[in-house]
Amino acid sequence: MKIDLHIHTSPRSPCSDIQPADLIQEAQKIGLEAFCLTEHQVIWDPEEVQELAKDSGIKIFRGNEITTAQGDVLVFGLEKDIQGIIPIQMLFKEVEAAGAFAILAHPFRGFKTFGMSDLSMSVEQASQKKALNFVHAVEIKNGKVTKNDNDMAQKVAEKLNLPGTGGSDAHNLDNIGTFVTIFENDIQDEKQLVAELHAGRFKAESFR
């Protein structure tokens, strides 16, 4: 099952131009089976998501992109409303207590400074990133960063034996489904999504 794990919509994410109704139509158009609404510091109401998905043929799941002092983290299965910037250690305690799942989003966004390759970090150096100790997985295919950024994320995930996920990080319709996470099993609800993430039965791939 192909799921775009990282999408933002307007107005819940002010940085996004995507209207939820248009998101449904675009997902249908490109053949996307499911997606996750991962607004910044906002969790959708379950009833609203159910109504949005109604009769669409698209499964919609809820997540949250939470800002920490050590980077952005995609969280699934955590209902707690967390506002402001939180230390990643504190967030991970909340995630673990809830049985939720945490993914370090676009962990090496912009790690190469405008072609100044001599300033870029090595895989060994990148693997020392503190935040990597407080997540269950790494976003290795993100639609809003460069190939170099994604390649570094993948190499670090492999080095640390952390699973890798894919998501578009879409803020406009053209980006939806750029990358997806392919699950071995069909996902029926959010509880199963979290369980399959913990089980590691998935891989990140390009989609469009």
In contact, 44 and 13? CB cutoff 8 Å: no
43-57: per-residue pLDDT in tens?
999 999 999 999 999
Confidence (pLDDT) at 112: 54
Q: How many domains are contained in the chain? A: 1
Is the predicted pLDDT of residue 115 greater than 70, yes or no? no
d(CA 161, CA 89) in angstroms, rounded, equals: 20
In contact, 185 and 146? CB cutoff 8 Å: no
The three-class DSSP label of residue 190 is: helix
**What kind and span of H or E run contains 72?**
strand 71-76
Distance from CA of residue 131 to its chain's centroid?
Answer: 15
159-192: per-residue pLDDT in tens?
999 999 999 999 999 999 999 999 999 999 999 9
Is the predicted pLDDT of residue 111 greater than 70, yes or no? no
Question: Which structural domain range is residue 133 located in?
Answer: 2-206
Q: Which residues contact 78 (CB under 8 A, 6 or more apart)?
A: 64, 94, 95, 98, 100
Kindly report the CATH number assigned to the domain that includes residue 150.
Answer: 3.20.20.140
Q: Which of 106-120, 145-159, 192-206 has the lowest mean pLDDT?
A: 106-120
Q: pLDDT tier at 114 (50, 70, 90 boundaries)?
A: very low
